[in-house]
Amino acid sequence: MKFMTSALVLTLVIGFAHLLRAQEEYGQATLEQGTLTVLRQGDSLKFQTANEQVPVFVGDLLRVGADSRVTLRTREKSTIAMGANAVFQVKPFQQQEKQGFARLLFGRFRSLVEGLFGGETVNTKTATAVIGVKGTENLVSVTPRGNTLTIGVQDVTDLIGQTGEEVPIGPNTVSIVLGDRSATLAVVVPPAVLDQFAGDNLDSPNPTSPEARRFPGQNALVEAGIVSQEDLDEAESEDVDDTIGDEPVADDSEPPSFEDLGVTESGLDDIKENLFRADVQINFQP
């Protein structure tokens, strides 16, 4: 009996070690403050210890809590800071000649890239755009509908909308992708927009609130003629699939619900719909 028990324990240990090896590590997340929920292979894992180190694997979905801050250091030579209520997914994608793992689903993000050589690019994705970082730093804000605002901080970032055209974004310039439109031409970012990120502010409102549908400093964007209020309103009512150009991303997996995530703060326990509208786009509407 003792031999059988030891053999069973050994089998379980070997099986668990095999499972760990089967998971592909993508990076390490640091929970700087607040809470972090990770959906991993059907399990909801919650972390709430300041400065806790959390291994992140391909396939993980990260949900940053209210009044929280997380920094993810990835194997792709990038550091992605996420503010309150941000949602981030690690999932492979390839769109035209761009490929990567990082999907920015909702919230504000600051990306820092180090050690690139030659023509290397670190790519991230939203429901409406691909962001190719050739340089070192940018800021991104993504609404629940996937509309994407990108601000260049250092060097050059390419923003690619649904039409596939690349728009280069230099330091202190901004470009926007709404729905299935092209990225707007990069122009000098209005000070009122930058003010919304002052002090490295990356916090976003509750994703179910009306405020979540607005870009930081949106009135200034409209007043500067960068985007019209009519286009913003129209984009909010559109259904956007996870397609750029003519290359859809295949995904046969079932989308996780908020119940799967175990996220109940900020009224999210009342949400009954699945997390995703399409392949990667969030449906925060009850």
Q: What is the CATH number of the domain that holds 76?
A: 2.60.120.1440
Query: Higher confidence at residue 118 or residue 243?
Result: 118
Pick the closest to residue 62 from 91, 27, 36 (CA basis): 36
Q: Would residue 133 count as lying in a domain?
A: yes
Contacts of 165 (CB under 8 A, 6+ apart): 182, 183
Quote the pLDDT of residue 155. 87
Q: Would residue 13 count as lying in a domain?
A: no
Please give the mean pLDDT across all residues of the chain.
79
What is the model's pTM?
A: 0.78
Q: How far apart are CA 279 and CA 203, in angstroms?
A: 25
Number of domains in the chain: 1
Query: Higher confidence at residue 14 or residue 81?
Result: 81
For residue range 45-66, list pLDDT tens digits in order.
999 999 999 999 999 999 999 9
Please report which confidence band the pLDDT of residue 122 belongs to, taking 50, 70 and 90 as the band edges.
Answer: confident
Q: Would residue 182 count as lying in a domain?
A: yes
For residue range 15-29, list pLDDT tens digits in order.
444 444 457 999 999
Quote the pLDDT of residue 85. 97
Please return the burial class of 152, using the count of CB atoms within 10 Å of its CB with bins 0-12, 13-18 and 19+. Answer: buried
Structural domain containing residue 199: 70-251
Has residue 151 got a pLDDT over 80? yes
Q: Would residue 171 count as lying in a domain?
A: yes
Quote the pLDDT of residue 263. 44
Please report which confidence band the pLDDT of residue 36 belongs to, taking 50, 70 and 90 as the band edges.
Answer: very high
Quote the pLDDT of residue 113. 86
Quote the pLDDT of residue 116. 64
Quote the pLDDT of residue 94. 83
Q: How far apart are CA 243 and CA 266, in angstroms?
A: 31
Has residue 145 got a pLDDT over 60? yes
Quote the pLDDT of residue 117. 65
Q: Would residue 15 count as lying in a domain?
A: no
Quote the pLDDT of residue 132. 87
Has residue 39 got a pLDDT over 90? yes
Quote the pLDDT of residue 19. 44
Q: How far apart are CA 153 and CA 167, in angstroms?
A: 15
Cβ atoms of residues 259 and 272 within 8 Å:
no
Q: Would residue 136 count as lying in a domain?
A: yes
Q: Would residue 265 count as lying in a domain?
A: no
Cβ atoms of residues 243 and 162 within 8 Å:
yes
Has residue 89 got a pLDDT over 60? yes
Has residue 135 got a pLDDT over 80? no
For residue range 238-256, list pLDDT tens digits in order.
665 543 333 333 333 333 4
Q: Which segment of 105-114, 143-152, 258-267 scores lowest on mean pLDDT?
A: 258-267
Q: Would residue 158 count as lying in a domain?
A: yes
Q: How far apart are CA 24 and CA 40, in angstroms?
A: 12
- Span 32-48, average pLDDT: 95
Quote the pLDDT of residue 223. 96
